[in-house]
Every structure is written in C-alpha cells, then in structure tokens.
Structure 1
Amino acid sequence: MASWNSSMDCCRWKGVTCDIFTGHVIGLNLSNSILGGTIHPNSSLFQLHHLQTLDLSSNYFSDSHIPPSIGQLVNLAHLNLSYCYFRGRIPLEISYLSRLVSLDLSDERSLLQLNQFVFRMLFQNLTKLELLSLTPINISSSIPINVSSSLRYLDLAATNLHGDLPKSIFLLPNLETLRLSYNAHLTVSMPKFNWSSSHSLRELELSSTNISGGLPSSLGTLKALKVVGFYYCNLAGPFPESIRNLSQITRLDLSYNHLEGEVPDAFSNAQKLTFVSLESNSFNGPFPSSLRNHFSGPLSLIQNKLKGEIGAQMFSSLKYLDLSSNNLSGEVEEVMFSSMQNLYLLDLSSNNLSGEVEAEMFSSMQNLYFLDLSRSGLSWSSNKDSTNTTIPHLRFLWLRFCHVKDFPDFLSNSKELWILDLSENEIHGQFPKWFGGLVALQSLNLSHNYLTSLDHLPWQTPVFVDLQTNSPSEPLPSSLCKLSYLTFLDLSYNNLSAEIPNCLVTSARLEILDLRANNFHGLLPNKFPKNSGLIHFSLSKNQLEGPIPTSLVNCTYLQVLDLGNNKIRDTFPTWLETLQELEILILESNRFYGPIVAFKTKSPFPSLSIFDLSGNSFTGSLPIEVLKGFKAMMNMNADKSKRGYLFDGAYYLQGSTSGESYDEESMILFTKNQETKFNKILRIFTTIDLSRNKFEGEIPKFIGNLNSLLLLNLSHNNLTGHIPIEMRNMSTLEALDLSYNQLSGKIPEELANLTFLVVLNLSHNHLVGPIPRSNQFNTFTDDSYFGNHDLCGFPLSNECGQHKSSFVPVSLVEQEEEEEPGFLSEMTWQSALIGFCCGLTFGFAILYIIYRFQRPRWFIDFLETITHEMIYRVQRGRKRRMNNHQKRQ
C-alpha cells in the first residue's frame, strides 16, 4: 500500500482490480502486506459494495474481530481472511454472503470461534460454495446434512467436530479434497458401495478421527485418489488390498492403527507413490517386494512385527528406509547395501539381525545423513582402518549397543556430524585427539562405556552431552568451562572427585545439569545468574556440604531440585517458595535441621508433586503452611489442566534411537538393589515423604485436603494424637506409612473408604481398639499393625472383647534400634533424575520404591500407562524428525 498515490487512478494501484466497463472496484488483494491493528466496523472498506474478491490473508490483525460489517459486501464471491490472527466469534453476517464461491478463514492458531448456529447457516445459505476452509477454528458441532453440491474443497481439520459424519459428504459429485483430520470425536463410516469411476476425490484426510468398521474394499474404486491419510484412526483388520487399484496414489499413511496380517504386494501399479507410512500397527510376515525397486520413499514400517530376512536385493531407488522396531532377522552382508546408493536415511534399529558391519559398507551412500543401527543385533567392526573412508554428509549416527570397542576412526573425516550416540558399548580409555575436531557436533551420548578421561572433547560446540556411567576418576577438565552453548550435561554415576566449578552454573543456556552419584565435595556454587534457564538440577549421592546457595532463586524455570544424600547442613530453604514452577523437591538424607517456618507467600510451592525431606533432623510440628500451598496435590481429577507429564513438550537436539526419545521424561525405580528405567512420569504421581525426622505434635486435619496425593510417608517421627478422620477424603491414596510414631486412639473406621489403599503401615504406635473391616483392610497382613499391643481383630490373633493388659512400649529410640523399619519406611525417595534413554530425547527421572511385599495396583497400572504413552510419543517424535529432515533436504 506504500505505492498507493492519491493523485493516481486507484484502478492502477497495486492489489486493486476494477471493472473495465464501470470502473467499480471489484477486487482487492492485500495479502502479505504487513497490515496490522484493528479493522473498524465503519471502515470505508465496507463501502465497496461491488467488491467480488477480498484477500487480506497473511496479515496481522491480532487486536481485531471480524467486523459484522463484512455482511454488507453482498457481491463477494471470494473471501480470504486466512492467517490474519483474528480473534473472537465469527459474525453471523458472514453467512449473508450468499454469492460466495470460496471462503477461507483458516489460521495456525485457534483464536476464532464459530457457534453451531452460524456454522449451520453457512451451509444453508452459501449454496454456491466450492471451497471452504475453517481449520483450526473451534466449532464444536456436528456437520449438517445440507452441504453444497458445488463443494470441491472442504477443510474442517482440528475444529472439534463431533457426532457422525453424514455419508452424503462422500456423494458430493465435485468433491476433490476432504480434510477432517484431528477431530477425535468425529465418527466416520466409509461407504461400502463402489464409487463411480468418474468420482473426482483426490485427497482424503481423516487422520485422528474414529473410522468405524475398518476400511472397505470400495476405497479402491476411487481411481483419482492421490492422498490417503488415515493416521491414528482406530482401524483394525487386514491391509486393504484394494489399494492396488489406486494407480494415481502419491501418499499413503495408515500409521498408528491396529491393522494386522501381512502387507500384500499391492503397490506394483502405484508408480507415483512417494510416501508410505505403515508404522505402529501389527503387520507381520515378510517385507512386501513391490516396495523394493521403484519406490523412492520415505518408507516407514517401524513398530510392527515384520519378520524374515531383509533380502539381498535391496531398495535401489529408495531414499528413506525405516524398518526399526520389528522382528527382522538374518545375516547382513555388504552386498545388501551396495545397491542402496540413493539412501538419505537408514534405520534398522531394534531388530534381530546378525553379522558385522563397518564404515566401508556405507561409503557408496554418498547422500546418507542419517544412520541408526542401535540394538539391531549388528556388531560394529573396528578391525579395519577406516580413516580413508568417508560418508561426507553424515549428520546423525546411532550405534547404541552395537558392541563398539573403539571410536570409529572414519568419524575423523565427518565434519558435518551433528548427533553421535555410542552409548551402551565397550569403548575403553580416552577420546582420540581427532575427536576435538568435530566442530559441528551438537549432541553426544557416550553413556555406559568405560572412558577414563574427558580430555579432547569439543566442549565449545555441543548442546547435549551425556557421559553418565563411565569410570573417569579425574577432576573435571578445565576445558569444561569453555562451554558456550551447552544445554544438557549428564556426568552422573562416574568417579569424578572435585569441587563443582562456578563456571558450570553461570551459563544462562544450561537447562539440565545432572551430577548424581559422584564424589563431588565442598560447597555448592552460589553463582546462578538472574537469567538462568535451569530446569533440572540433580546433585544427589555426593559429598556436598554447607548451605543451599541462595542464588538458586534466580532459576525461575526450575522444575526439579534433587540434593538428596549429601552432607548439606542448613535450615529449610523457605526462600525456594518463589520458584513457582518447582515440581520436585528432594532434600532427603542430609543434615537439615530446625522447624519449617516463616513463609511469606500465601501458597508456597503450588506446582510441587514430589516433596521429600526424609532422613534429616527437622523439628517442630508438621509444616502446615507448606501443605496448604500444594495446589498440585488437590483436586487433580477435577482440574484436567494439571494432568499430563513433567516436562511435557520439551525438545532437544539429540535425535532418536531405538524406540526412545529425549523429549520425554524417564523414571528410574529402585527395587532392592536393581535399577529399572521407564520413560515418562505422570504429574499425578504425587508424593510426600517426611519420614525419619523429629517432627512432633498432631497430624494436621488439613492433610485430608490433599485429595490427589498418591503416597504419604510420615514414619519415624514423634507424632502424637489421633489419626485424623479427615484422611478419609484422600480418595486417591494408595500407600500410607505412619509407623514408628506415638499415635494413639482408634484407627478411624472412615479409612475403610480409601478403596485404592494398597500399602498400609501403622506399626509401632499406641493405637487401640478394633481394626476396621473392609475389602481393602482385609488385604493387609499383621505386619501393618505390629507393635500396637491394644489393637484387636483381623489379621491379628487377639480377638476384640477379650481382656488384655496394655503393653508399655519401650522408647521410640529403642524401637528403632531393635526393630527393622516397616516396608514403606524402607522406601527411599531416590531421585534418579535424568535417567534418560538414548536418542532424540532428554530423560527426566525420579524414583523410589523399595518395599517388601506385593507391588500395589497403582504401580502396575502406572507402568502400563508409561509403556503405551511412550510408544505413542516416541513414534510421533520420530515422525516429526523425519519430516524436518525432508524439508531441510
């Protein structure tokens, strides 16, 4: 519009079209004109009554609603307001534009709402409509039956549609594109009848809807169909063989469904096919031979049950091949890779292959930038000198658990290498000198090897470094202080012995720092900058002393603070209450002392899910003011916004390997002395452990308000009084330990209402009277009540009503010396934070749980939830990664 000159005829202005006979303005195209602000209802724009085309797309009217005055432009045939960032309700007046042929209100953010009445009026009045795009406007409606027969293009993706899709949609004679993806509550029944051979449907996108009845064979009668998108549609049954009739198809996505059986050789006629994704189904049998030669990819069959050998005649035209997470077997020889010269991506991870491979086998793949052989069954041979071998464009290399014994020396030529994962191998010694020359390296995972030195690392370039569980016994190298871009550093489970250098915490970029299980000593650095980006800080199992550094208040994004199992001597750091994002606070097994008082905010720690102060010397009454602030432990079932996973949505550069993903949390459970790692931890995993302290007084009645708490451990204190009846409100509680206290009175009958309670320990108190009877209490053994000599009833041997003299217990100190702790008292809230898996991920961890008896139901359910969610999120991350790399190429 800067070129518009009022001294010139407006019909000559850029973007303006006039009728050649009348001179009336009939077209206005101001797309991509950097316009902003508000469009006022009395704008002169709405006086252009002869306007037939109005295109304001890709501008920035973020402060504006769509004015009702738009209804005055009654001659409009084409209206494009897409990507304008309008907000608010779409006015009814837009349905007055009965001459509209195309209407595009799509955007990348759903800031617009369209009520059901206006939505139905659009279909009722706009009878000439050929193009309608409303994604991702929140409509929350079913689709009306009266759809314009002129419709060629319909895009209602991610509009929160529900109900049944009218079958009449499939009968529209001119329909070419139908996009209804990401409407999870929309049910689609595909027609069973054969479409006319002249039917014009070319694109059918129904991903993330509920397709009932599976895919009918009639799909193959849509001869013009080019794009089929049925991702995550709950499809079941066999692969639809009728797809062999779709000779024009270019893109097929049937991923994340429940399809089974063999994938038939149904692609011989699909000469134009450029993308196939069948991942995350239950396909078995051999690889379909019709995808081998002419198909150029991408091709994804990950997370299925394909078996048999890959075959000697490989995919000569293929550019992207992902067969990870299957049951493929057989010996892999060099001849298998010789014909795959066009490959950009090769992923064979998580299979049952055999044989040795070496760098020279892949040297003919001059375009290869992504190679993942992790847990494939293949062994990487280092017998042959490969310093003259080059894979010039290699950027991503995963050789996790490939029996690698030395650093692959061909990498000395890999100047573009960005991500390297050699974890869980047998590499001994130190980094070769050439390693410091990997100037493009962004992510390095060498965890679970046998490195003895950290010299020659290119510390200035990496963003992600994982060196956990090696065996260097040296101090931290001074070169570590040269880090400029480091975001993730894991040196846990090593033998590093030194004071923690100040430079390690002064970086504003660092988000994850895990130094667990080393021999770090001295004081914690007190140099956290005001712009700190730290999210996860874990220093447990070291020899650190002194107070907690007060500069931690600058870490306003901090979600995890784990300082457990050190020698820190301090009072409770009440100033941490300012960290509103903190979700896990673990200070267990230190030398903290004194009462917990003097909070300034009304609701301290509102996001906290895990609170562990066990094994210290805290005194006074239980910290009621802290408990009142735990909003994340209250009413979680009612507040769905509190659900989900810790660090949900976090993203790092590491890439992806073998079915794991660093953009998700992981969880480490210590059962006896065995460590088990699982991805992801639910926010509903809420726990409080104040055991093994010197708290006294009564258990506050307020504790019953923590009705989303999963586990509560107050054992080994000096608590007195009765068990509060209000604990009946803790409806989600599944583990409760009040053992080794001075509690008296009866066990409240109301606790029988805690139907999820699986683990209970009330031993070594002064409780009296009958044990409540209920289905839940009937499952507990006598160990739950041992040391309460005036209790009676099942499962104890003394029956109620029989006289028995009261037993005067020995002192609590003597009890602790003489008796073993109860099974929940034995729980240690080990935070194994950042127990990450390998690949495009960062893992986050916690964990605990050591007890003697049965694993509770919540534990089993929790692990099942983790498994299913992990598969979904990992594969989604892998798909995103593949798409991103395609775009770059």
Structure 2
Amino acid sequence: MLFQNLTKLEVLSLSYVHISSKIPMNVSFSSSLRYLDLGFTNLQGDLPKSIFLLPNLETLKLSGNDLTTISFPKFNWSSSHMLTELDLSDNRYISRGLAGTFGSLKALNFLDFSWCNIVGPIPESIGNLSQITQLYLSANHLESKIPDAFSKLQKLTHLGLKINNFSGPFPSFLVNLTKLEVLNLGYNSLSGPLPFIANGLQNLKKLSLFKNSFNGSIPSWMLSLTSLTYLQLGSNHLSGPLPEFKTNSIEKLSMHQNQLSGPIPHSLRDLVNLTHLFLGSNNLSGEVGAEMFSTMKKLQHLGLSHSGLSWSSNKENINTTLPSLWTLSLRFCRVKDFPSFLLNAKQLVFLVLSENEIHGQLPKWFGGLSSLQYLNLSYNNLTSLDHLSWQTLQFVDLQKNSLRGPLPSSLCKPNSLHMLILSDNNLSVEIPNCLFISGNLSVLELPGNNLRGPIPDIFSGCGGLNYIGLSKNQLEGPIPRSLVNCTSLQVLDLGSNKIHDTFPIWLERLPLEVLILKSNRFHGAISAFQTKLPFPDLRIFDLSENSFTSSIPTEVLKGFKAMMNIDPHKSRLEYMEKEGRYYGPFTMHYDESVILFLKNQEIEFKKILTIFTTIDLSRNKFEGEIPEFIGNLNSLLVLNLSHNNLSGHTPVEMKNISMLESLDNSF
C-alpha cells in the first residue's frame, strides 16, 4: 500500500474518497500515525485488527463503510493506548457485541457506535470511560436496562441511546450527570413515571424521550430548565395537565400522542422562541385561536390535530399574523371557518384542516397562498374547488365533501400536482383530458362521484402514474388502450361503472398489483395473452359482477407469482403506500385503499397489506371445471368463485392453499 513506507506520517484523511476495494490483510500504517480517517470510503472485507493497536493513534474514524467487517482485538487494548476519538458509526458488520471493548480506553472522550447492528446489553465496563464527553450508541439492538455504570461518566455532555430495545424505568442516575447537555432515549421500551426531581440537569439543552411507554404526569422541572431548547415527549402515555412553563428558552416542543388533559397553560405564550409546537392526539380541552400563538413570531410548525382543543375564530384578532408559519395541522379541531390569519401566511407550505365543520366555498384570498404545496381539507362540507392555486399544489385531498359540478378548467394549466384525491363528492360531467397528460401526477382518486362519459383515451406522459381510482361513477365505453403508456401503474380500480368491453389483455404489460373491474359490463372469454406469465405482480384481482364467459383461464393464473410461496412469518408486514414527501417535520404518505366484497359484506380497506391476496370471479358466466392450477396459488387469502356455471369437483390441489381464510364456491 502507498502509505506503508511513510514512517513519519502522523495524519491521514481519506474520508469520502471512493476507494471501493478490499483491504489488504498485510496493510501496515506508520506507528507515528495520530489521526486516521477512512470514513465513507466504501472499503470492503475484514478490517485488520492491527489498526486498533497503533501505539500513538488518537483519532480513528471508520464510519459509513457498510461492506467492512470490524472485529475488535479479543484481548484488552493496551492500557497505554492514547485513543481519544473513535467513530465506527454506520457500519453494519460489527462482529462482536460491546462486552470487553471498553476495558482500557480510559483516554477516550468521543465514541460513536451508532447504526452498527450491535446486540446485547451494555457492559458495566463502560464505566471505565472516565474521560468520555460524547457517547453515541443509537440505532442498534442493545437491550436490557441502561446500566448504573453510566453514573461514573461525570464528564458526559452528549448521550445518544435512541432506537434500541432498552427496557425498565427511566435511569434515575442520569439526573446526576451535571454536565449533560444532550440526552436522547427515544424509540425504546422504557416505562414508568419520570423522576419527580432532577436538580443535576441544569445544563440540559436537548431532551428526547420520544416513543417510549412513560406514564404519569410531566414533572415541573422539565419546564423550568433555563437552558432547555428542545423537549420531545411525544408518543408516550403521559397524563394529567400541562405544567406552567417557567422558562422561555424552548424552541422545539413536542408532546403529541399522550393522554394529557386540561387547558393549555397561559404561560405557553411566553415561549417567544418557539419554532416547533406539537400537542396533537391528546385529551386537552378549551378553545384556542391564532391569538394564543401571536407572540411566537418564529413559529414555523404548529400541530394540534386531535388534541381535544377547539379552534375558534373568536380567539383571533384580525391583525394577528404568524409570519414564519410553514406547516399547520388542525385535524378534528372543530374548525368552522378558515382561520383569517392564513390570509397573510405567505410561507405556508403544509395545511391540514380535515375532519372539521368548514362549509361553503373557499375564500378568494385562498388562491394567494402561493407557497402552498400540501392541502388536506377532507371530511368537511365544502361545495366548490374555486380559488385554489393549482400551480403550486402537489398534494390535494378533498374527499368526503359536497363538491359539485365539473372539475375546474384551471386544472388543465401547467401545474406540479402529484396526488389528487376527490373521492366521495358530487362531481359530475366528463373527466377533462388534461388530467392524463400530466407528467407529475402519480395518484388520481375520483371514486364515488357522478362522473359520466368515456374515460379519455389520451394517456400520454403518464409514466409516473401509480394509482387510478375511478370506481362508483357512471363511466361508459371501453378501457382506453393508451393506458399502456402508464408504465408505473400499480393500482387500477374501475369498479362499479358502466364500462362495456372485453377483458383488456393488453394490461399484462403493466406492473399492476391491484386490478378491480367489478360491477361493469365486461363480457366474453379471457384469452389470447401475449406473454407467458401475465400479471406477475398482481395480488388483488376482482372481476366480479360482469358477464365473462368460457372457462377460468389457467394461463392467467400461472402468471400470478405474487400469490405463490409467500412466507407470512418472514415477510415484513408492510402496506402499499406511496413514498413519503417531507414538509418540515411532517411526512406525507399515501395509503392505497380499495373496496372489496369479503366474507359476504363490502369492506373498505383504508390500507392494503402487501401480503393480502384475493381473487374474486363471482357473479359471472364462467363454466367448466375449476382449474387444478389454482392450488399453486398457495398464498391466496380470499377466493370467491360463487354464482357462476362451474361444474365438476373441487380440485384436490386446493388443499395446498394453506393460507386461505375465505372460500366461497356457492351457487
């Protein structure tokens, strides 16, 4: 290796140099080396243990090398070792746990083993790191209780233990680490009440206990720390009222998803430095409005959805402004009118006012929200789509309102629309052609309206379209063949219309996972496929209530690879959803939903598990015998062949469908 003859080399930094090769096992570095940084170099293979034993090494950084296997020396590292900084984060292949690792690293002041797949408990030997100031063991598989040995680390300023499997009560000895500035215990299984007294944490700036199982009340000391800027208590089981705030240093405050009750304390107005405030999903009471937050001129993100609070226009001063507001979520807050302060919210990007009591039209000034990208006004009583700024909007959800008339012509102007959800309204007339020529649209959901006429045969530039939902309308004519241009289409739901066509075999070219054509006027035999294994990704196949004839096509069943050989114990329970888009602290996910006839009743699946598989061919005119091949679909959960003209025996091969939960062969 190039460096092995450089005997006086003291500093070597190759971070982010794309080496991308195996490490020679005979590699040797200068014994004079004090600083070695090989982070994010894509090194591969086994890391030589000799690197850990360089006698003068003070800093060792090996983070971000996923293909490198790191094994610590089996014996204790030299007691005279000078190592002060060790960063092995983002390495998946740490071959041992932490036992015995820390025995002699007494000079260490920085240690980062985050995202290393380390298992087991933290050893008591961690108490030997008497000089440590920053310690990060986040995102591993560490378990058991957090050991008392941490109480010996009196110089500790930063402690990160989030995303592990720690259990037991809050480690009370941590409150005696008087120099602690950052403490993150989020995403664990810690439980019980929080300490009532914590006189030793006066230097604490950031505290995260997010997503644990802490219960009881919020101790008053947490809201009295004069240096605290970040407090994250969300997703626990905390109850009781919010204590009075005795500090105004807090910038980010999250207490959502608890069982907090009572009104918001008046002292909340004193938090003039707040940029993030999340109190949603609680049992709070009382009315609030923009006036409550008018002192918070830096406030960027406000989340009160399902908090129990009512948003009242009587609590708003007409001159109130929140000039920095970027996201606002007031789902189920009994909102009756659009908050007037939004008129001047020129930076607003994310707005959720769903599940409220807003009625009538949008105000004219709504079109002036020129930064708005995400809008959810679902489950209200709005009657018009006028005054929306379609040019900037990316996500629009107005389902379950009282929208009437045609879709607005402004939709046909150039826009950035990514998802459009207008289901269960009273929209009528024909679907405008322009909806299907937008290169940005990925989700189009218009079921449960009164749309008429044919589906426009003008699908072009639709390569990003993943979901088309047009069920429960009055659409007629054939399925447009230009749909083959939608090369990313995964869900096509055209159920409950008046579509008159034969089976669209040409859809076999698309990566469909859900195909619903039920309750239409389809007819004829299903045959003449051009590919050997059509529809390999299909998991939901519903042709019920049509007039398909002839035999059940074995050739299409052979293509259903996604209904074969799924191990539910090894498969991750995931939902079909669109990838998240980030709006500040909010993430937008779209869950793909369908309505199916299951176990003798119609059920709406708001989310679809990727292991859910169903075939419904009921209420057609299929004849002949049930194909023996259907037994190969051994991961099928639901099969409905009822109300046809089938004859013969139930194939013995069906015994192989061991996951079957619902079978209907009646009539």
Q: Could you state the TM-score of these two structures normalised by the residue count of structure 2?
A: 0.92
Within the candidate set 138, 159, 167, 2:67 is matched to: 138
Given that 1:247 and 1:270 are in contact with CA atoms closer than 8 Å, whether structure 2 keeps it comes out as yes
Within the candidate set 99, 105, 110, 1:177 is matched to: 110
**Residue pairs, 1:561-710, within 5 angstroms:** 561-580=492-511, 582-637=512-567, 643=572, 645-647=574-576, 650-653=579-582, 662-663=588-589, 665=591, 680-710=607-637
1:530 aligns with 2:461: yes
CA offsets, 1:189-223, max 9 Å, x none? 33178547xx1122222223233330122212101
What secondary structure, in the 3-state scheme, does the structure 2 residue paired with 1:439 have? coil
Within the candidate set 277, 285, 299, 1:354 is matched to: 285
**Residue pairs, 1:33-432, within 5 angstroms:** 50-51=5-6, 77-94=10-27, 100-107=33-40, 112-114=43-45, 118-119=46-47, 121-122=49-50, 126=54, 128-130=56-58, 131-139=60-68, 143-146=72-75, 148-149=77-78, 150=81, 151-157=83-89, 158-184=91-117, 186-191=119-124, 195=128, 199-265=130-196, 267-293=198-224, 294-313=226-245, 315-332=247-264, 335-383=266-314, 386-432=317-363
Change (3 A) 1:646 1:87: farther
Higher strand fraction: Structure 1 or Structure 2? 2
Given that 1:442 and 1:653 are in contact with CA atoms closer than 8 Å, whether structure 2 keeps it comes out as no
Given that 1:89 and 1:112 are in contact with CA atoms closer than 8 Å, whether structure 2 keeps it comes out as yes
Change (3 A) 1:675 1:447: farther
Paired with 1:153 and 1:219, the residues of 2 have a C-alpha distance of 18
What secondary structure, in the 3-state scheme, does the structure 2 residue paired with 1:448 have? coil
Greater CA deviation, 425-434 or 266-275?
266-275
The corresponding residue for 1:750 is none
Change (3 A) 1:47 1:242: closer
Change (3 A) 1:673 1:390: farther
Paired with 2:63 and 2:367, the residues of 1 have a C-alpha distance of 52
Q: Which amino acid aligns with 2:92?
A: T
Paired with 1:674 and 1:397, the residues of 2 have a C-alpha distance of 35
Paired with 1:594 and 1:194, the residues of 2 have a C-alpha distance of 76
Change (3 A) 1:165 1:337: closer
CA offsets, 1:653-678, max 9 Å, x none? 56677xxx632526577898897775
The corresponding residue for 1:808 is none
Given that 2:144 and 2:168 are in contact with CA atoms closer than 8 Å, whether structure 1 keeps it comes out as no
**Residue pairs, 1:724-735, within 5 angstroms:** 724-735=651-662
What stretches of structure 1 of length at least 5 have no aligned partner? 1-45, 53-74, 741-889
Q: Which amino acid aligns with 1:609?
A: R
State the 1:369 CA deviation.
0.8
Paired with 1:668 and 1:531, the residues of 2 have a C-alpha distance of 22
State the 1:388 CA deviation.
1.3
Q: Which amino acid aligns with 1:135?
A: G
Paired with 1:370 and 1:267, the residues of 2 have a C-alpha distance of 29
State the 1:705 CA deviation.
2.0
What secondary structure, in the 3-state scheme, does the structure 2 residue paired with 1:632 have? helix
How many corresponding residue pairs? 659
State the 1:704 CA deviation.
2.1
**Residue pairs, 1:477-876, within 5 angstroms:** 477-482=408-413, 484-530=415-461, 532-580=463-511, 582-637=512-567, 643=572, 645-647=574-576, 650-653=579-582, 662-663=588-589, 665=591, 680-740=607-667
State the 1:237 CA deviation.
1.2
Paired with 1:147 and 1:598, the residues of 2 have a C-alpha distance of 71
Greater CA deviation, 147-156 or 435-444?
147-156
Greater CA deviation, 150-159 or 458-467?
150-159
Paired with 2:9 and 2:649, the residues of 1 have a C-alpha distance of 76
Given that 1:192 and 1:216 are in contact with CA atoms closer than 8 Å, whether structure 2 keeps it comes out as no
Paired with 1:222 and 1:258, the residues of 2 have a C-alpha distance of 23
What stretches of structure 2 of length at least 5 have no aligned partner? none
Given that 2:103 and 2:126 are in contact with CA atoms closer than 8 Å, whether structure 1 keeps it comes out as no
Q: Could you state the TM-score of these two structures normalised by the residue count of structure 1?
A: 0.70
Greater CA deviation, 89-98 or 364-373?
89-98
Paired with 2:588 and 2:446, the residues of 1 have a C-alpha distance of 18
Identity %, equivalent residues:
50
Given that 2:220 and 2:244 are in contact with CA atoms closer than 8 Å, whether structure 1 keeps it comes out as no
- By relative contact order (CA 8 Å, sep 6+), the higher-ranking structure is 1
Given that 2:478 and 2:500 are in contact with CA atoms closer than 8 Å, whether structure 1 keeps it comes out as yes
Greater CA deviation, 291-300 or 347-356?
291-300
Q: Which amino acid aligns with 2:340?
A: D
Change (3 A) 1:466 1:656: farther
What secondary structure, in the 3-state scheme, does the structure 2 residue paired with 1:220 have? helix
Given that 2:513 and 2:539 are in contact with CA atoms closer than 8 Å, whether structure 1 keeps it comes out as yes
Q: Which amino acid aligns with 2:267?
A: M
Q: Which amino acid aligns with 2:547?
A: S
Greater CA deviation, 595-604 or 96-105?
96-105
What secondary structure, in the 3-state scheme, does the structure 2 residue paired with 1:346 have? strand
State the 1:476 CA deviation.
1.7
Change (3 A) 1:81 1:571: farther
CA offsets, 1:595-615, max 9 Å, x none? 111222222222112111111
What secondary structure, in the 3-state scheme, does the structure 1 residue paired with 2:16 have? coil
Change (3 A) 1:727 1:411: same
Change (3 A) 1:314 1:681: farther
Greater CA deviation, 607-616 or 153-162?
153-162
Q: Which amino acid aligns with 1:180?
A: F
Greater CA deviation, 598-607 or 584-593?
598-607
CA offsets, 1:349-396, max 9 Å, x none? 011111111111211101001111111111111136633111111111
What secondary structure, in the 3-state scheme, does the structure 2 residue paired with 1:479 have? helix
State the 1:325 CA deviation.
0.7
CA offsets, 1:301-341, max 9 Å, x none? 111111111133354110000000111111235x2332111
Change (3 A) 1:708 1:136: farther
Q: CA RMSD in A?
A: 2.7
Change (3 A) 1:710 1:84: farther
State the 1:697 CA deviation.
2.1
What secondary structure, in the 3-state scheme, does the structure 1 residue paired with 2:108 have? coil
State the 1:465 CA deviation.
0.6
Given that 2:197 and 2:221 are in contact with CA atoms closer than 8 Å, whether structure 1 keeps it comes out as yes
Q: Which amino acid aligns with 2:107?
A: N
What secondary structure, in the 3-state scheme, does the structure 2 residue paired with 1:235 have? strand
State the 1:236 CA deviation.
1.2
Given that 1:292 and 1:316 are in contact with CA atoms closer than 8 Å, whether structure 2 keeps it comes out as no
Change (3 A) 1:202 1:99: same
CA offsets, 1:729-782, max 9 Å, x none? 223222222222xxxxxxxxxxxxxxxxxxxxxxxxxxxxxxxxxxxxxxxxxx
Q: Which amino acid aligns with 1:366?
A: K
What secondary structure, in the 3-state scheme, does the structure 2 residue paired with 1:552 have? helix
Paired with 1:184 and 1:710, the residues of 2 have a C-alpha distance of 35
Change (3 A) 1:417 1:604: same
